[in-house]
Amino acid sequence: MSSDGRWAPHPPQPPTSRPAALALLVPCGFCWAEPGTPCTDAGQHYARFLRIYRRGILDAADLATVSKAAAYITAGTIVPDA
């Protein structure tokens, strides 16, 4: 919702649809890596995927796929780049 109480339009879709690439659009909420900077060489923290899901960039089906990357998942879990 916008500040004046009306619904804001959806943001334009980014040119890529890979969740690992989309995660780099936002700062990490776990290690505070800046946008465009990977959390680790192995992958991104799950917190980044949660941020892009909450912002409407990642849909529920893609978040479910990302969530299956580990046996258990927390905000600090590293999701390997695929």
Statement: the pTM of the whole predicted model exceeds 0.85? no
Instruction: Compute the distance between CA of residue 4 and CA of residue 28 in angstroms, rounded to an integer.
Output: 29
Give yes or no for residue 10 having a pLDDT over 70: no
pLDDT tier for residue 15 given thresholds of 50, 70 and 90? low
Q: What is the 3-state secondary structure (H, E, C) of 9-38?
A: CCCCCCCCCCHHHHHCCCCCCCCCCCCCCC
Q: Report the pLDDT value the prediction gives residue 81, as an integer from 0 to 100.
A: 85
24, part of any domain: yes
Residue 64 lies in a domain: yes
| Residue 7 maps to a domain | no
* Predicted local distance difference test score (pLDDT) of residue 46: 96
Phi-psi region of 60 (alpha: psi -120 to 50; beta: other; left: phi over 0): alpha
Mean pLDDT of the chain: 86
Number of domains composing the chain? 1
